[in-house]
Chain A
């Protein structure tokens, strides 16, 4: 038991990690690694395999295939209690028959630390989470937020080199979540421990993480920093799951140095894109990168699509417009409070955006938009 309060986080490597339940594959041969001291978030909808992955790292779920390495050493043979990891659970999982102090001291008791040192470390951990004087309370006497802080203290008290968190804020309300997020970030910076954090909340992931792995149907769609995922999504799923996106469907075409999307009535271009030429694809733009311009005869140059504003959602610091396109699909446009135009629901407008703000990505679904010539008639006929 080293007494260094700055524990160095461990490196975690997942190689072709797979979990199958009968015929169902929960986790499908994923490769992922966490650098020492990194804050890595596993983000995805429920059932995407992120929690199963976390449970395999903790040792609660047997691995079907593949391996888990901690600092290069496989942990396959180690039961959970010998992996020396910390974990925070969604519903706190505090021992209801032990006081706050005893809960936090529990890992130290298992490690047979002398009583005096236990007391010091417990006080230390409770201090870190801001609960210094609640040591004698019982868990049920605490609020949800306080209980989760105790759970956090229990997980960090023995300075584990890896801290796993399974939707730790999922049971709390929005305000509390926001303040605890900042605290978790602070504690991570203080400890230097490797954090693996599971959540389905993309805002949370963006706030906390060094890197985010986006899970979908047992596979990892993309791994990258918050900025990578937001500005350079590599799949449509990521584009839609992380932040909001407006999609323009069509067939991929080559366009100069970049890519383009050809639809029935226009070709749109993007500077980036990986969709195979001729394949169904979507051009993805973030709503705040789209400008709205009223139709006054002259078509704007560059990327421009006609549409009709369906509704307006007022959000205080911005407004969101839902716009129906000629092919019947709907896209979102966000205008920040300083740039709100005079366009109103019912108006026909031009949507414009720059090619450098757009990316063309393969649609896994075949374009379900009708390609017939008369498809845009309902929108445009009224003028």
Chain B
């Protein structure tokens, strides 16, 4: 009876949908469902090679569609669809390209990893595809609700991915930790959406911007509270200090290929929405949020670099380094300008390749069990496997910002944006933290290119460190910081000698990452222009 009444009174208005806009998401999700179905229908566990190939094919078709979208956007301009909830513009296309490339690389790295660990089945691939679709949706979201939807799709898949390796207890622990803290931050985020809706009467990003530019709120407490909660939610996702606590544990605990994927995709998705919401929707309020982001960026940069220095575990070190990188991207956000957004996008894009490549090496070196992550395991790597060591050194140096790699251009562009936005001290702090960061990247390089065996440990001085002579203290400091004489942790000693087998597909992935990092570092124009044009076509 009720249904009849509704039908009599009004027809349900179905918004027009341009399918090209959501096609990449549909392909990824649909592909994930198909893969899952295939897995349930066959009797034996899915062949690993089949899962890898289908993931690569699915991601590559989404990747191809993204370029179709790009051509479309270049020709006809950006547009919104599904009642303005989803937007397709240069910005979203770049995020899609980034996320789909990251997924391809992840599948390549994961194959060797799964084979080595003896984990069967294609669930890892299904989850990665789902998570990628969430990240793309965050890049396309034009409505806070869609942002939340994307965030949850991304995160929930990642929680499971983190805990995926059931043979490692750390993995489960990390997954649980990520889940609890992530759930908490999602709650904060939803509350932020609610308060913003209360203050502006809409959740649509363009309409929020329109409302704020037309109205001056006399009592803006609710709005500012909503904005702050959104800021906290985003800061958690992109691992900005002081909302970074989960990062080292989760990065360390997650299976190494997943960590690389997470560092690239979760950051990209999080920052994409962060940039869109703050630069466009809350653009009018930039005087309110820029100082907050300024402080956030400074602590993120310094704490990220500073704490990375004292890490012995390579995954924890890279986790803190990713926090430092998040600080750099915040520079782009803090500039709150087109140059800033473009620089941030470029940063995310280049960083994705650097970090996936780095974690691919970590996954390879981790050996069976994914446990060998003490940096002492890298000692003398260059002697056994010069190519692998060189690739890793290159990726690390690129992260440090060495010239003629994309790593330099990332830092250069955010610094330009930051100076342009009159935040010179922030730029100085950022580059200072880069020097600090160079230190811990080099430390790994020193070990890789050093002798195979640790020198004899320095005997402890008799009679109190306080009164040790200056030279003694200096030697100790060197040992502590520069690892001239770091003895390997007991567990490592037995296993960490000899060649490590490098699965061919992982080698391919590392090769791609190195190539992208170097080629676009020497010939920067295509990638820089991509980010630049993507920002010019930034819709709301």
The finding on whether chains A and B are genuine partners in a shared complex, rather than unrelated, reads: no
Query: Which B residues are within 8 Å of any A CB, using their own CB?
Result: none
Query: Which A residues are within 8 Å of any B CB, using their own CB?
Result: none
